Amino acid sequence: MDQFMERAVELSLQNVREGGQPFGAVLVKGGEIIAEGVNELHKVQDVSGHAEMLAIRRAQQELNVDSLAGSIMYASGEPCPMCLSAMYLAGIETAYYCASLEETVQAGLGKSKIIYEDLQKPASERRLSMAQMPLAENQDNPVELWMQRSNKA
């Protein structure tokens, strides 16, 4: 097993021993660990406190960057849709994981599977109902303002 995956698994084992879920993540760039994380759901009431999300946040804050292009994510478990999306948004192009989604579902950690399945449906059939609401007539449009201020118009 790769040294970085070994570290991700070590983090997840330590997290389980401390009462958390079996998820650890290591973010690597240029052959060096730039950030780590474990699921902290047992410590803080924050659904975004996933191992991969925390590793991404820490790396971006430490390096003072938005893009983590060229980084590699090592995760002890297959990333959930939220973490996968964060990896896309951060520019991470490669990720490795150990435990599959199916394995985590069997362990009773199956919310990710439900979300992945739901995202494959048309928006009108998803469990989370969403509807666009137009701006009020007298309200400035934030997107247009951003375009003007960033010379995108």
Q: Tell which residue, 59, 92, 96, 94, has the closest CA to residue 76.
A: 96
Question: Active-site residue among 36, 40, 52, 78?
Answer: 52
Residues pairing with 104 in the sheet? none
Alpha carbons 102 and 107: distance in angstroms, whole number: 9
Q: What is the secondary structure of 72-137 as a DSSP string?
A: EEEEEEPPPHHHHHHHHHHT--EEEEEE-HHHHHHTT--HHHHHHHHHTS-GGGSSS-----PPPT
Instruction: Quickly count: other Cβ atoms within 10 Å of residue 70's Cβ.
Output: 12
Classify 57 as helix, strand or coil.
helix
Instruction: For residue 103, indicate whether it is catalytic.
Output: no
Active site residues per annotation: 52
